[in-house]
Structure 1
Amino acid sequence: MFDVDPAVRRPHDIIAPPEGRGGDRPPRPGPRAAAKWLCGSVIHPAEHTIAAAFDQAEARDRDHARDWLVLVDGAHHQIDLVQAEADRRGIGVHILIDIVHVSEYVWGAAHCFHQPGTPECEAWVACHLTTILHGQATRAVAEITAQADQGALRGTSREGADACIRYLTGHADRLHYDTALASGWPIATGPIEGACRHIIADRLAITGSRWGLDGSEAILKLRALKDNGDFEEYWRHHLAREHERLYPTPDRHDYRLTA
């Protein structure tokens, strides 16, 4: 979870149109993640971690005066859990699909019509992604469908196009990039992907390591505590609990922990 200061952009700030950008205006920078808060678990179900993220968000914005945006990769189960938690708390949230995931499907569709790596393929992707960034995903679906039909594509030669069509159609209500860009919101999950790599993969995926659930859960919690700046407070709490465990007497607070 993180905060951002809104940074308004336009579709051409995200991707250059096939004819190129006009003038000397550089692309506007996107919003930068700040005050990151990390949380992860290999033991608890997804709804537990989602609830923890909502707890943190409410601690930062108790009056719900700010826009709450949830960036996801398109997994319907994840979206359902997020929406259920928001409904349970009576909070309005904006759920948006990561544009990078969308672009992967668009590239897959492009390879049904053009050779990978060609200028024609890149121009095709830029055209349709620009349409999607304008909030017109349904138009992109119609155009891709029409092109596949006109080309009489069948079977495996059409798989990429059909996968893209299904993805865009199935998430049509989560693709309002025009609103997101005009509001200055982030539209990609880069900070989230980076956090997953840092807090999980950099430690648990090292070569030759073997982990059990309890050990990996403990490491995840410690890494999150450290990165969130909460380790010192946690360590004082830990020492106090150890003191009570080792000296379980009515006057235990008169003793200092030396073990």
Structure 2
Amino acid sequence: MTFNSENIIREIRAEFEMLLDFVTGAKAQTATADRIERGLFRRLLDLGAKLLLLFFVVRAQNCSREPLQMEEGQELPYHDERKRTYFSIFGRIPFWRPYFYKSGVGEAPLDAELSLGSDRYSDFLREMSEYLAVYVAYGKDTDLLERFFDLKLSTRVLQQVIDADAADVEPFYAQKPPPSPAEEAEILVIQADGKGVPMVLETPAEPKVRLGKGEKRGRKKEAIVTTVYTVACAPRTPEEVVAGLFYQDQNSDTQEETSEHPKPQNKHVWATLDGKDAALDRLAKQVAPRQGSHIQHKVALCDGCEALQSRIEARFPDFNLVLDFIHPNEYLWEVANSVLGETNEQRTKWVARKTLQMLSGQTEQIIIPEFRQLAQDINCSSTQREKLTKTANYFERNLPYMDYPTYLAKGWPIASGVIEGACRHFVKDRFELSGMRWTQGGAENLMRLRAVAENGDWDAYHDFRRCQRHSRLYDIPFPGQDAPEVLALTPTSFVTIPTQDYCELPLAA
């Protein structure tokens, strides 16, 4: 079965006339805007399906049926018209194209000319469904596609599409040039942190009606999140930092000042389940091309995880390791809650005072001795003693990375808000949704596409992916595009209608 292009054109013209009647006819005069908008959307999807079918039919009609010359010198004669289904954003579009065959070798050259993939799912549909998938659960993704586009895409197919399309992420970043020095700031910053991802048990245990105390239905595997960026120097005093943390609501001037702190430039985020060493090896590859004479300082921000600290020091010996100030500050809050109580009115002032001491370089001289002395007090409970001792030990072990007066004077960042946000947003907000369990491969592939989206490389990556796929499948160059601006889903892709050209009467106020 084949389609006649003239018949399709007549149907399209008739359908367009019905569209005009839908918005200007008698029924439209009493319709609500919502009814017209919804009806237009559905009818435009149907019209898009017919127009896309027409495109395929015309391209197939224009294909030569002369014998196909192969590179090996073999000649394939025209055999018949073969059906192919194209699953697009408009729905399934079946079409027939010429097929050439001889002695077990067959070719449909139109597939290469159209740069079709090996499966039936269109690149536009893939891109839309994948972009949803990096932010919402697979089930919600497929629900949205069905609700608004009447597309029935299973979560299994969605996972397969993601697995296939994530394969070129590493090659994409390997060939992507680094930012130019003019686009960079003077401090090169790296950060790393870990966040657990709930995993599917490799050997599922016999299901239980009710779990025992401490039992869980899955286990977690640590995802190491890394980031590299540059930022401008911002010298400040310990007092300014404390004021911004504790008193910005009462001090509008301080609040305005903190909002003007330099923003990270050219941030690149990544996450992997392959372990700390693999994560830092990849981070090193991202860091190397961004070094140069324009970089005046190198800072590695990290929490108190000894395993990460030792690896960062070994892997990046020319970086200054800085303990993320937020972590010791949290320890101070825990001590305050334990010693003073969470409802004590003096709690915030006490933490602010200790924070100022810490940022002023008095951790070793004042805070640690004071906490150890309090822990020896006969009135100290066992819980309070444990908290005080734990905090003193943490501070003592991390003293080499807590020279905050020097860091602040040089204008270095001392808080890893970028990576903390990445751990929460990049990993937790997507991979720890209720009831989720991941295989390592499935999580890893989604993390790659999520990194592409978060790094602002979505359109560039999919351009690269399409070219890579084309080169793997076909022996002809990737087809040129006459109008590349229509390929990306960006606001500039849409036309703004000049209202005054169409309005004869004043618009309603």
Q: Contact 1:58 / 1:64 at 8 angstroms: preserved in 2?
A: no
Q: Does 1:253 align with 2:476?
A: yes
Kindly indicate which of the two structures has a greater share of residues assigned to strand. Answer: 2
Query: What one-letter code is carried by the residue in structure 2 that aligns with 1:178?
Result: P
Deviations 1:70-117, CA, capped at 9 Å, x for gaps: 111100000011011113xxxx11111111110111122224432223
In structure 1, the gaps of 5 or more residues are none
Q: Does 1:56 align with 2:286?
A: yes
Give aligned-pair identity as a percent.
28
Q: Contact 2:471 / 2:478 at 8 angstroms: preserved in 1?
A: no
Distance of 2:369 and 2:237 partners within structure 1: 23
Q: Does 1:142 align with 2:369?
A: yes
| SS in structure 1 of the partner of residue 415 of structure 2 | coil
Q: Does 1:106 align with 2:301?
A: no
Which structure has more RCO (C-alpha within 8 Å, separation ≥ 6)? 1
Q: Contact 2:467 / 2:478 at 8 angstroms: preserved in 1?
A: no
1:164 is displaced (CA, Å) by: 0.8
CA distance 1:60–1:125, change in 2 (3 Å): same
Kindly indicate which of the two structures has a greater share of residues assigned to helix. Answer: 1
Q: Contact 2:235 / 2:408 at 8 angstroms: preserved in 1?
A: yes
Q: Contact 2:338 / 2:383 at 8 angstroms: preserved in 1?
A: no
TM-score, normalised via structure 1 length: 0.82
1:84 pairs with 302, 310, 314, which one? 314
Q: Contact 1:109 / 1:162 at 8 angstroms: preserved in 2?
A: no
| SS in structure 2 of the partner of residue 241 of structure 1 | helix
Alignment of 1:1-259 (within 5 A): 1-16=228-243, 26-27=253-254, 28-29=257-258, 30-42=261-273, 44-63=274-293, 65-87=295-317, 92-139=318-365, 140-150=367-377, 153=380, 155-247=382-474, 252-253=475-476
In structure 2, the gaps of 5 or more residues are 1-227, 480-509
CA distance 1:242–1:179, change in 2 (3 Å): same
Distance of 1:213 and 1:124 partners within structure 2: 45
| SS in structure 2 of the partner of residue 71 of structure 1 | strand
Distance of 2:252 and 2:445 partners within structure 1: 49
Q: Contact 1:137 / 1:168 at 8 angstroms: preserved in 2?
A: yes
Q: Contact 1:99 / 1:188 at 8 angstroms: preserved in 2?
A: yes
| SS in structure 2 of the partner of residue 108 of structure 1 | helix
Query: What one-letter code is carried by the residue in structure 2 that aligns with 1:93?
Result: F
| SS in structure 1 of the partner of residue 414 of structure 2 | coil
Distance of 2:359 and 2:478 partners within structure 1: 64
